[in-house]
Amino acid sequence: MKILLAVGLLVAATAVQSAPSPAAASVVKGLVLEVQDVESYTYLRLKTQNGETWAAVNRAPVVKGAQVSIDNAMVMTNFESKTLKKTFPSIVFGTLGAATGKAGAASGTSTWTTIGSSQTKASPAIKVVKASGTNAHTVEEIVTNAAKLKDKTVSVRGQVVKYNAGIMGKNWVHLRDGTGSANAGSDDILVTTRNETKTGSTVTAQGTVRTNKDFGAGYAFAVMIEDAALR
Protein backbone atom coordinates (compact mmCIF):
# COMPACT_ATOMS: atom_id res chain seq x y z
CA MET A 1 0.00 0.00 0.00
CA LYS A 2 2.85 2.40 0.87
CA ILE A 3 4.51 1.63 -2.46
CA LEU A 4 1.31 2.44 -4.37
CA LEU A 5 0.92 5.71 -2.48
CA ALA A 6 4.52 6.71 -3.23
CA VAL A 7 4.03 5.96 -6.93
CA GLY A 8 0.85 8.03 -6.98
CA LEU A 9 2.59 11.01 -5.41
CA LEU A 10 5.48 10.72 -7.89
CA VAL A 11 3.07 10.71 -10.86
CA ALA A 12 1.21 13.75 -9.48
CA ALA A 13 4.45 15.65 -8.93
CA THR A 14 5.62 14.89 -12.45
CA ALA A 15 2.33 16.14 -13.91
CA VAL A 16 2.62 19.41 -12.01
CA GLN A 17 6.20 19.99 -13.20
CA SER A 18 5.29 19.38 -16.84
CA ALA A 19 2.19 21.58 -16.85
CA PRO A 20 2.42 24.85 -18.81
CA SER A 21 2.98 27.90 -16.67
CA PRO A 22 1.36 30.33 -16.29
CA ALA A 23 -2.29 29.29 -16.80
CA ALA A 24 -3.49 29.93 -20.34
CA ALA A 25 -6.77 31.56 -19.27
CA SER A 26 -5.31 34.14 -16.83
CA VAL A 27 -6.75 37.65 -16.92
CA VAL A 28 -5.42 40.87 -15.40
CA LYS A 29 -7.84 43.76 -14.80
CA GLY A 30 -7.04 47.28 -13.71
CA LEU A 31 -7.28 51.04 -13.98
CA VAL A 32 -4.96 52.68 -16.52
CA LEU A 33 -2.60 55.10 -14.74
CA GLU A 34 -0.19 55.71 -17.62
CA VAL A 35 -0.02 54.97 -21.37
CA GLN A 36 3.09 54.78 -23.55
CA ASP A 37 2.65 53.99 -27.24
CA VAL A 38 5.46 52.70 -29.45
CA GLU A 39 5.38 51.46 -33.04
CA SER A 40 3.69 48.10 -32.45
CA TYR A 41 2.75 48.07 -28.78
CA THR A 42 0.89 50.03 -26.15
CA TYR A 43 2.45 49.90 -22.68
CA LEU A 44 0.04 50.41 -19.79
CA ARG A 45 0.74 51.07 -16.13
CA LEU A 46 -2.21 49.53 -14.31
CA LYS A 47 -3.62 49.76 -10.82
CA THR A 48 -4.94 46.27 -10.00
CA GLN A 49 -6.34 44.67 -6.87
CA ASN A 50 -2.84 43.26 -6.26
CA GLY A 51 -1.04 46.57 -6.72
CA GLU A 52 0.50 48.35 -9.71
CA THR A 53 1.88 46.50 -12.72
CA TRP A 54 2.94 47.24 -16.29
CA ALA A 55 1.29 45.49 -19.23
CA ALA A 56 1.98 45.40 -22.97
CA VAL A 57 -0.61 44.76 -25.71
CA ASN A 58 -0.80 45.23 -29.47
CA ARG A 59 -1.13 48.95 -30.13
CA ALA A 60 -4.61 50.19 -29.25
CA PRO A 61 -6.35 53.52 -28.48
CA VAL A 62 -6.34 53.26 -24.69
CA VAL A 63 -6.46 56.39 -22.55
CA LYS A 64 -5.56 57.17 -18.96
CA GLY A 65 -8.47 56.48 -16.61
CA ALA A 66 -9.91 53.55 -18.58
CA GLN A 67 -10.69 50.24 -16.92
CA VAL A 68 -9.17 47.43 -19.00
CA SER A 69 -8.67 43.69 -18.94
CA ILE A 70 -5.60 41.90 -20.30
CA ASP A 71 -6.60 38.45 -21.56
CA ASN A 72 -4.24 35.44 -21.98
CA ALA A 73 -1.90 37.20 -19.56
CA MET A 74 1.68 35.94 -19.27
CA VAL A 75 4.17 37.51 -16.85
CA MET A 76 7.79 38.16 -17.81
CA THR A 77 10.50 39.30 -15.43
CA ASN A 78 13.42 41.64 -16.17
CA PHE A 79 12.05 42.44 -19.63
CA GLU A 80 14.07 45.05 -21.53
CA SER A 81 12.29 47.35 -23.96
CA LYS A 82 14.90 48.70 -26.34
CA THR A 83 12.37 51.18 -27.75
CA LEU A 84 11.57 52.70 -24.35
CA LYS A 85 15.14 52.15 -23.12
CA LYS A 86 13.70 50.68 -19.95
CA THR A 87 13.85 47.35 -18.11
CA PHE A 88 10.64 46.23 -16.42
CA PRO A 89 11.20 44.09 -13.28
CA SER A 90 7.83 42.50 -14.09
CA ILE A 91 5.45 43.03 -17.00
CA VAL A 92 2.30 41.33 -18.27
CA PHE A 93 1.97 40.45 -21.97
CA GLY A 94 -1.45 39.63 -23.39
CA THR A 95 -4.33 40.78 -25.56
CA LEU A 96 -6.61 43.69 -24.80
CA GLY A 97 -10.12 42.76 -23.73
CA ALA A 98 -12.85 45.24 -22.85
CA ALA A 99 -12.21 48.84 -21.83
CA THR A 100 -14.65 51.20 -20.10
CA GLY A 101 -14.60 54.65 -18.57
CA LYS A 102 -12.83 57.56 -20.29
CA ALA A 103 -12.11 55.39 -23.32
CA GLY A 104 -15.83 54.93 -23.89
CA ALA A 105 -17.94 56.33 -26.68
CA ALA A 106 -21.43 57.78 -26.24
CA SER A 107 -22.59 54.59 -24.51
CA GLY A 108 -19.74 54.83 -22.01
CA THR A 109 -18.16 51.60 -23.23
CA SER A 110 -15.65 50.80 -25.94
CA THR A 111 -14.51 47.31 -26.87
CA TRP A 112 -11.58 46.43 -29.12
CA THR A 113 -11.46 43.03 -30.77
CA THR A 114 -7.87 41.81 -30.83
CA ILE A 115 -6.07 38.71 -31.98
CA GLY A 116 -5.53 36.11 -29.29
CA SER A 117 -8.94 35.67 -27.71
CA SER A 118 -9.36 32.22 -26.21
CA GLN A 119 -11.88 29.75 -27.55
CA THR A 120 -15.07 29.83 -25.46
CA LYS A 121 -17.46 27.06 -24.48
CA ALA A 122 -20.00 28.55 -26.91
CA SER A 123 -17.64 28.13 -29.85
CA PRO A 124 -18.66 25.53 -32.44
CA ALA A 125 -16.82 22.24 -32.39
CA ILE A 126 -13.56 22.29 -34.33
CA LYS A 127 -13.04 19.70 -37.07
CA VAL A 128 -10.05 20.23 -39.34
CA VAL A 129 -8.84 17.82 -42.04
CA LYS A 130 -5.40 16.38 -41.30
CA ALA A 131 -2.44 17.77 -43.23
CA SER A 132 -1.03 15.67 -46.08
CA GLY A 133 2.49 14.24 -46.36
CA THR A 134 4.68 11.64 -44.68
CA ASN A 135 5.44 13.88 -41.70
CA ALA A 136 1.82 14.99 -41.17
CA HIS A 137 0.21 14.37 -37.79
CA THR A 138 -2.87 15.42 -35.86
CA VAL A 139 -2.60 17.50 -32.70
CA GLU A 140 -3.36 14.45 -30.56
CA GLU A 141 -0.71 12.35 -32.32
CA ILE A 142 1.97 14.96 -31.68
CA VAL A 143 1.10 15.38 -28.00
CA THR A 144 0.77 11.68 -27.22
CA ASN A 145 3.82 10.63 -29.29
CA ALA A 146 6.02 13.54 -28.26
CA ALA A 147 8.88 11.33 -27.09
CA LYS A 148 9.11 9.57 -30.48
CA LEU A 149 8.71 12.80 -32.45
CA LYS A 150 11.17 14.85 -30.38
CA ASP A 151 13.48 16.98 -32.58
CA LYS A 152 11.72 15.77 -35.74
CA THR A 153 10.00 17.95 -38.33
CA VAL A 154 6.23 17.58 -38.43
CA SER A 155 3.27 19.16 -40.19
CA VAL A 156 -0.04 19.79 -38.47
CA ARG A 157 -3.17 21.50 -39.72
CA GLY A 158 -5.45 23.22 -37.26
CA GLN A 159 -7.51 26.21 -36.29
CA VAL A 160 -5.87 29.10 -34.46
CA VAL A 161 -7.61 29.40 -31.08
CA LYS A 162 -5.10 31.76 -29.47
CA TYR A 163 -2.49 34.14 -30.88
CA ASN A 164 0.07 36.27 -29.03
CA ALA A 165 2.38 38.29 -31.28
CA GLY A 166 5.89 39.57 -30.71
CA ILE A 167 6.76 37.96 -27.38
CA MET A 168 10.50 37.21 -27.09
CA GLY A 169 10.83 37.76 -30.84
CA LYS A 170 8.27 35.08 -31.70
CA ASN A 171 4.56 34.78 -32.42
CA TRP A 172 2.85 32.22 -30.17
CA VAL A 173 0.02 30.21 -31.74
CA HIS A 174 -2.26 27.58 -30.21
CA LEU A 175 -3.76 25.12 -32.72
CA ARG A 176 -6.65 22.68 -32.38
CA ASP A 177 -7.98 20.27 -35.00
CA GLY A 178 -10.76 18.48 -33.12
CA THR A 179 -8.61 15.54 -32.04
CA GLY A 180 -7.50 14.75 -28.51
CA SER A 181 -9.03 15.40 -25.11
CA ALA A 182 -9.10 18.58 -23.06
CA ASN A 183 -8.90 16.52 -19.86
CA ALA A 184 -5.78 14.76 -21.11
CA GLY A 185 -4.30 17.98 -22.49
CA SER A 186 -3.97 16.42 -25.96
CA ASP A 187 -6.38 18.68 -27.88
CA ASP A 188 -4.11 21.74 -28.17
CA ILE A 189 -0.56 22.29 -29.43
CA LEU A 190 1.58 25.41 -29.02
CA VAL A 191 3.48 26.62 -32.10
CA THR A 192 6.09 29.38 -32.26
CA THR A 193 6.61 31.12 -35.58
CA ARG A 194 7.72 34.36 -37.19
CA ASN A 195 4.73 34.25 -39.54
CA GLU A 196 1.61 36.22 -38.71
CA THR A 197 -1.90 34.81 -38.44
CA LYS A 198 -5.11 35.55 -36.56
CA THR A 199 -7.56 33.78 -34.30
CA GLY A 200 -10.06 31.67 -36.23
CA SER A 201 -7.77 31.03 -39.20
CA THR A 202 -7.04 27.48 -40.36
CA VAL A 203 -3.33 27.00 -41.05
CA THR A 204 -0.77 24.28 -41.66
CA ALA A 205 2.30 24.57 -39.45
CA GLN A 206 5.58 22.83 -40.23
CA GLY A 207 8.25 22.92 -37.56
CA THR A 208 10.30 20.94 -35.05
CA VAL A 209 8.81 19.09 -32.10
CA ARG A 210 10.38 20.03 -28.76
CA THR A 211 9.74 18.48 -25.38
CA ASN A 212 10.21 19.88 -21.88
CA LYS A 213 11.05 23.25 -23.37
CA ASP A 214 11.79 25.99 -20.81
CA PHE A 215 12.23 29.53 -22.12
CA GLY A 216 12.47 30.99 -18.62
CA ALA A 217 10.21 33.75 -17.24
CA GLY A 218 7.43 31.19 -16.70
CA TYR A 219 7.39 29.85 -20.27
CA ALA A 220 7.70 26.06 -19.82
CA PHE A 221 6.01 23.50 -22.06
CA ALA A 222 5.92 19.71 -22.01
CA VAL A 223 5.51 19.56 -25.81
CA MET A 224 5.39 22.19 -28.55
CA ILE A 225 6.37 22.90 -32.17
CA GLU A 226 9.18 25.41 -32.55
CA ASP A 227 10.19 27.77 -35.39
CA ALA A 228 7.33 26.72 -37.64
CA ALA A 229 6.42 28.01 -41.08
CA LEU A 230 2.70 28.69 -41.50
CA ARG A 231 0.77 28.39 -44.72
Domains of the chain: 28-111 (2.40.50), 139-230 (2.40.50.140)
In this predicted model, what pLDDT tens digit does every residue of 122-159 receive, in sequence order? 456 899 999 999 999 999 999 999 999 999 999 999 99
Cis peptide before 22 (omega within 30 of 0): yes
Decide: helix, strand or coil at residue 8.
helix
> Is the pTM of the predicted complex or chain greater than 0.75?
no
DSSP string of 98-142, one letter each residue: EEESTT--TTSEEE---TTPPP-TTSPPP--PPPPSTTB--HHHH
* Rounded distance between C-alpha atoms, residue 82 and residue 228, angstroms: 26
* Rounded distance between C-alpha atoms, residue 148 and residue 197, angstroms: 29
The average pLDDT across 48-75 equals: 86
In this predicted model, what pLDDT tens digit does every residue of 170-183 receive, in sequence order? 899 999 999 998 87
Evaluate if residue 10 carries a pLDDT over 60: no
Decide: helix, strand or coil at residue 18.
helix
